[in-house]
Amino acid sequence: MDTYRTIADLAATVELAAPFRSESLFQEKDLFTAGLDDVNIYRIPALIATPGDTLLAFCEARSRDDDDPLDLVLKRSLPVERDLQGVNGVSWPDDRRWLPMQVVLPGEGEAPVNPCPVLDRQEGKVWLCCRKVLGGLAANLGWVHGPLYLLSSQDDGATWSAPVEINDQVGEFLPGPGTGIQTRTGRLVIPGYDPHSAKVIYSDDHGRTWQAGGTIQARGDESQVVELADGTLVLNVRRIGCRHLAFSRDGGESWYEEREDWSLSDPSCMAAVVRYSDAAPGGRGRLLFANPAMPGSRTQLTVKLSYDEGRTWPVARMVHAGQAAYSSLAVLTDGSIGLLYETGPNHPYEKITFARFSLEWLSEGRDRVRPAVLPLELPLVWEFRRDPEEVGVEQGWAGSSDSRGWTAIRVNADWTSQGHDYHGVAWYRLRFAVPAEVRPGTRLALLFGAIDGFSQIYLNGECIAEDRLGPPIMSSRPLVVPLPRALAGGQVVELAVQVRKDEGRAGVWRPVCLVQHG
């Protein structure tokens, strides 16, 4: 049984467009600034969010504008641990912590270009596609020559595999730049272009082998791709004047229709398009698009919102009025929107800035995800008991209401940081009532923000899930446990978690929610 699913996997049934907060938010932070870290200029941003709530911001470290990149670099952002009690009503804190820049692929005298990451949700792996230009970028702007590389990370970008060349599998191709997608079928799709026009490459075996899709008929180059509600892929291509769209019913292998979209003006600049939410029952499908909105200049960076799968874009809000160029969008696990873009007071390549904003800010209050019964954040204070002799299962700790020997503990911090100088087996327990408004037959799941240690989950004394992966794989990732049977609205249940950890921090250290599942 597939017990563990990511937050992204729940988006089809839980409108995760902002499960916890929906109030207005806009924040900005300069991530890469020309002249810092011994780099003359930074260009070509790419942003992706992992299920573990880590943001990965890629770009090229260059010697000059359209000149040789020195290295392909990355900054990672982790959420700052905080008390999430009452999250439906609190203000947005600046709760992202950016780590120092790291080199993902060194240039070694050549020019690594066009970072284009894609997330494999099923395997929890981030793939990064890029091209290393031999002979220098400045001398090869017409078309480049060199290896097309794939690298991968299974720890949210902290470490990366050695690059693997795939030219022999897909032929001539320049990725993105921007991000790829994983379709509902599990196919990994990386957009980009060849010497003739835009196309995609794809993998149906989780990145082990790759194939090239068909090239579109119109002339174009840099592209991004999004999957529509009916499974159609739309390739959104850079052109002069407006964006060019190509449509595929076979996952990018061929394109059955192409047209220009004059509602998306384009100064011939890389743009970004992503899905924000699906039209799940009670939800609303939304797509996001970002680019400089002035047809004749790279200024007025604007984010647009569509409710009809990209046919119209009724919502548009300017993020930056001045100089701005390439951009990349990502949807964070808390429902806020991340935008990584090139900008500067004098020209658009002085720095790369990260903006974070809410759906309510984007729509100027006209659209927000309404607070609902589900997801329901469970209380932060639980009962806690050490089990050094490992007698808890035999003595029925998971299903007993006897509180003797139990102490209070918070589940938004590990037990070691709360004064429990102990390693081994320990138990958490909580009694709570299913909201009375939950409809009969609703399938539910428990969403654990993170558990550091090997865990077993009990409901009313019955073990319903066991995490055998444990740290380091699951210590900072969400864990979703579907409930084996429907619970009635108003029903009181007893939830227990047994955790085993022999060193370091330990225990349930991020909040727990009751969510709708399937």
Instruction: Give yes or no for residue 91 having a pLDDT over 50.
Output: no
Neighbouring C-alpha atoms within 13 Å toward the C-beta of 437: 6
Please choose, from the candidates 426, 430, 446, the residue with its C-alpha nearest in 3D space to the C-alpha of residue 507.
426
pTM > 0.75: no
Tokens of 439: 């409809």
Active site residue 222: yes
Instruction: Give yes or no for residue 88 having a pLDDT over 60.
Output: no
pLDDT at position 122: 86
Q: Are 46 and 116 contacting, i.e. CB atoms less than 8 angstroms apart? A: yes
Confidence of residue 82 (pLDDT cuts 50, 70, 90): very low
**Distance (Å, rounded) from C-alpha 198 to C-alpha 220?**
6
Catalytic annotation, pick one of 60, 110, 222, 452: 222
Instruction: Give yes or no for residue 143 having a pLDDT over 50.
Output: yes
- Give 435 or 337, the one with higher predicted confidence: 337
Catalytic annotation, pick one of 4, 149, 276, 326: 326
**Cβ neighbourhood burial of 40 (10 Å; 0-12, 13-18, 19+):** middle
Instruction: Give yes or no for residue 81 having a pLDDT over 70.
Output: no
The chain-wide mean pLDDT, for the chain, equals 87
Catalytic annotation, pick one of 28, 67, 383, 387: 67
Confidence of residue 413 (pLDDT cuts 50, 70, 90): very high
Single-letter amino acid code for the residue at 245: L
DSSP structure class, residue 218: S
Tokens of 451: 């558990």
Instruction: Give yes or no for residue 425 having a pLDDT over 90.
Output: yes
Active site residue 494: no
pLDDT, tens digit (0-9, with 9 covering 90-100), for 193-241? 999 999 999 999 999 999 999 999 999 999 999 999 999 999 999 999 9
Average pLDDT over residues 42-62: 92
Active site residue 42: no
Instruction: Give yes or no for residue 342 having a pLDDT over 80.
Output: yes
pLDDT at position 10: 34
Single-letter amino acid code for the residue at 398: A
Q: Residue 168, SS3?
A: helix
Average pLDDT over residues 419-434: 94
Instruction: Give yes or no for residue 392 having a pLDDT over 50.
Output: yes
**Distance (Å, rounded) from C-alpha 355 to C-alpha 302?**
12
Confidence of residue 80 (pLDDT cuts 50, 70, 90): low
Instruction: Give yes or no for residue 21 having a pLDDT over 70.
Output: no
Percentage above 70 pLDDT, the chain = 87
**Distance (Å, rounded) from C-alpha 181 to C-alpha 117?**
9
Instruction: Give yes or no for residue 18 having a pLDDT over 60.
Output: no
Average pLDDT over residues 499-506: 94
